[in-house]
Amino acid sequence: MHIGISVEDLGRSVRFYREALGFTPVSKLAVGGFPCTTMFETEEIELECVFLERDGFRIELMSFPTPGTVGDGAVTPWRQRGLAHFALSVTDLAATREAIVAYGGTLLEQTYIKNDDPQYKSEVLCAACPDGVRLELIQSPVADPALPLGVPVEPGDF
């Protein structure tokens, strides 16, 4: 299982996710032609991708030398349909901020929250990778990132 992210510059994006966010490259792939033309709904295609992993979470960075990427790389709005963001736990938010900028990302300082409530003691900041994917960065010495937020879903809720 993984989440795919289309990128403009594969090397830049691998460096960003590896150096700024602690992902580890695990495999790479270069393919073209059929059956990719069918899957990606295009007449010609060259796809180069790198799979990276962190804390059991896997992403696929996908570069399209042919026919090229589309979109302007603007930061994904929260309310846009589709993938709005993904969240990562960080141990040192200040260092992560510096690394994000150093590797071509964008800090969204207006989203910074510091919660001093002992139950939720945390700092949260949104950022974006060089290709505009919104990232929610959470530093919390008390929260278990494996636990869900909110209340349990009951049968019949949806």
Task: Please write the tens of the pLDDT for every residue from 67-124.
Answer: 988 888 889 888 888 888 999 999 999 999 999 999 999 999 999 999 888 777 889 9
**Superfamily per CATH, domain 86-139:** 2,3-Dihydroxybiphenyl 1,2-Dioxygenase, domain 1 (3.10.180.10)
Task: Return the sign of the alpha-carbon dihedral for residues 127, 129, 132, 137.
Answer: negative
Residue 130 confidence (pLDDT) above 60: yes
In this prediction, residue 39 carries a pLDDT of 85
Whole-angstrom Cα distance, residue 91 to residue 28?
28
- Both tokens of residue 16? 């960003």
Intervals of CATH 3.10.180.10 along the chain: 3-66, 86-139
Residue 131 main-chain phi, psi, to 5 deg: -105, 10
Q: Could you tell me if 48 and 8 are in contact, meaning their C-beta atoms sit under 8 angstroms apart?
A: no
Least trusted range by pLDDT, from 25-34, 39-48, 102-111, 130-139: 39-48
Whole-angstrom Cα distance, residue 27 to residue 49?
9
Across the range 33-47, mean pLDDT stands at 87
Least trusted range by pLDDT, from 39-43, 57-61, 128-132: 39-43
Cα–Cα nearest to 132, from 28, 52, 16: 16
Residue 125 main-chain phi, psi, to 5 deg: -145, 135
For the segment(s) 3-66, the CATH number from 3.40.50.10380, 3.20.20.450, 3.40.50.800, 3.10.180.10 is 3.10.180.10
Residue 120, amino acid: Y
In this prediction, residue 117 carries a pLDDT of 82
C-alpha to C-alpha distances, 145 to 44, 53, 92, 98, nearest whole angstrom: 41, 16, 15, 23
